[in-house]
């Protein structure tokens, strides 16, 4: 009975009471007053935000354009001297171009990040947003990303310093420890090398602990000439020096050999040979080619002068090969060579049983 009465009371329709005209007018007046009081603040903040964005975009455009013009001027300077004698010695156009492009990319990225980041923080401060939690979160996220991508950050920073310090460039012959070859591309994260057998090596800049650049300054071509012990060394020095001087005057090698070929002296003395060390200061990257050509010319000059080089095997005076060591064909001692040893007796065949004569009586 009670529940029925409660349900009947709840189901009774209630009359709708709309807001009065005075309340609506009062609400509209309050909203209009609030807008009238704050429109100047909104307008001022909007103009400030627009001004900040315009200034940031203009500064970013001007700075990036200035960096691009600076890089283009560096490339034009490299191209102007490329092909000349000075350019072939000191400047490589492709090396300068890649180095300048890498530096320009880094500078443009850093400038854009600083300008646009500062503009974004300024806009947030104009909007009266508390930047402390945002900066704290960004710091924590930066630490987490730094731990997760530490190898990438290490490669990037190492590449930046390698490029800024000009440790190597395109066309240089380098020894990076993990690989050796000719540099064909320098990047901020990896360096691409062409090995001696044609293989391309991708070396992460963060893994490079030492760099041996074989193409900077000058190079040294070294040739070791092995002569017989009884040859006239003074005559050999004269012949070798003449061969080196003739090579230095050749038009093909005149610009690659910077100093006269020098006979340094004896580098080693053995019972049947002597080693004469010959050196020549050359253009960077040309030491191997100069050494091969110098070795060729020295061999021809020694043959023409009748000076004999040391043979790889020992020979007797009449030119016949030395007799072989007779002990080389002797087998090492073995226990089987002794017929009374247990090993030798174990290898002997078992003798057949003796035949039994006719009429013999076997034992019980």
What digits encode the pLDDT tens for the residues 267-326? 889 888 999 999 999 988 788 889 999 999 999 999 999 998 887 654 445 555 555 555
Mean pLDDT of 75-99: 57
**Which of these, 90, 96, 63, lies nearest to 77 by C-alpha position?**
96
**What is the model's pLDDT at position 211?**
86
| pLDDT category of residue 85 using cuts at 50, 70 and 90 | very low
**Between 278 and 161, where is the model more confident?**
278
Nearest CA to 302 out of 225, 229, 230, 221 is that of: 225
Q: Are 285 and 301 in contact (CB under 8 A)?
A: no
pLDDT of residue 302: 92
* Predicted confidence band of residue 332 (pLDDT cuts 50, 70, 90): low
Q: What percentage of the chain reaches a pLDDT higher than 90?
A: 17
DSSP character string of 247-304: HHHSTTTTTTB-S--EEEEEEEE-SSEEEEEEEEEE-TT-HHHHHHHHHHHHHHHHHH
Average pLDDT estimate for 84-98: 55
Distance (Å, whole) CA 108 – CA 61: 10
| From 94-103, 207-216, 243-252, 298-307, the region with the lowest mean pLDDT | 94-103
Most confident of 104-108, 340-344, 345-349: 104-108
How large is the average pLDDT for residues 32-58?
80
Which residue spans within the chain are E strands per DSSP?
A: 173-175, 180-186, 190-194, 200-204, 212-213, 219-228, 262-269, 273-282
Tell me how far apart the alpha carbons of residues 93 and 87 are, in angstroms, rounded to a whole number.
8
Average pLDDT on 211-225 reads 85
pLDDT of residue 361: 59
Residues in a beta bridge with 278: 223, 263
Determine the pLDDT at residue 173.
Answer: 84
pLDDT at 46: 83
User: What pLDDT does residue 283 have?
Assistant: 87
Element housing 81 (H / E): helix 21-81
For residues 89-113, average pLDDT: 72
Per mean pLDDT, which of 56-70, 122-136, 344-358 is the most reliable? 56-70
Confidence of residue 33 (pLDDT cuts 50, 70, 90): low
Q: Is 168 exposed, middle or buried (0-12, 13-18, 19+ CB in 10 A)?
A: buried
Q: Residue 59's closest CA among 123, 4, 8, 119?
A: 119
pLDDT at residue 331, rounded to an integer: 54
**Is the pLDDT confidence value at 338 over 90?**
no
At residue 93, does pLDDT exceed 70? no
Backbone torsions φ then ψ of 37, nearest 5 degrees: -75, -30
Per-residue pLDDT, averaged over 139-155, amounts to 75
75-84, 321-330, 341-350: range with highest mean pLDDT? 341-350
Q: Quick one: pLDDT at residue 87?
A: 47
Query: What distance in Å separates the CA atoms of residue 186 and residue 284, rounded to the nearest whole number?
Result: 19
Average pLDDT over the chain, rounded to an integer: 77
**Higher-confidence residue: 130 or 30?**
130
Residues near 277 by beta carbon (within 8 Å), at least 6 away in sequence: 222, 223, 224, 263, 264, 265, 266, 267
**pLDDT for the residue 1:** 40
């Amino acid at each position: 009975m009670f529940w029925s009465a409660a349900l009947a009371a709840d189901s009774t329709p209630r009359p709708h009471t709309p807001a009065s005209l005075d309340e609506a007018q009062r609400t509209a007046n309050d909203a209009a007053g609030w807008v009238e009081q704050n429109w100047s603040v909104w307008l001022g903040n909007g103009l400030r935000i627009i001004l900040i964005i315009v200034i940031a975009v203009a500064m970013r455009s001007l700075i990036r354009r200035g960096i691009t013009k600076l890089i283009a001027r560096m490339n034009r300077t490299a191209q102007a001297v490329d092909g000349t004698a000075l350019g072939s010695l000191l400047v490589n156009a492709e090396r300068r171009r890649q180095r300048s492009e890498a530096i320009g990319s880094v500078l443009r990225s850093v400038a854009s990040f600083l300008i646009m980041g500062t503009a974004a923080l300024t806009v947030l401060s104009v909007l009266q947003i508390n930047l402390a939690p945002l900066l704290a979160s960004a710091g924590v996220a930066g630490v987490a990303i730094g731990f997760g991508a530490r190898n990438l950050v290490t490669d990037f920073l190492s590449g930046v310093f390698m490029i800024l310090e000009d440790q190597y460039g395109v066309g240089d012959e380098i020894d990076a420890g993990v690989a050796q070859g000719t540099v064909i591309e320098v990047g901020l994260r990896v360096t691409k090398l062409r090995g001696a057998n044609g293989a391309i090596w991708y070396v992460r800049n963060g893994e490079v602990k030492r760099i041996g650049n074989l193409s900077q300054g000058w190079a040294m071509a070294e040739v070791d000439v092995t002569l017989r012990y009884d040859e006239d060394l003074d005559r050999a020095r004269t012949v070798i020096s003449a061969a080196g001087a003739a090579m230095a005057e050749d038009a093909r090698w005149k610009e690659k050999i910077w100093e006269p070929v020098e006979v340094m002296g004896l580098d080693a003395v053995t019972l049947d040979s002597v080693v004469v060390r010959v050196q020549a200061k050359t253009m960077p990257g040309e030491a191997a080619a100069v050494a091969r050509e110098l070795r060729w010319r020295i061999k021809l000059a020694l043959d023409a002068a009748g000076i004999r080089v040391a043979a790889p095997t020992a020979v007797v005076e009449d030119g016949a090969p030395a007799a072989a060591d007779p002990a080389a064909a002797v087998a090492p001692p073995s226990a089987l060579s002794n017929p009374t040893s247990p090993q030798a007796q174990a290898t002997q065949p078992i003798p057949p049983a003796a035949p039994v004569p006719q009429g013999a009586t076997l034992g019980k």
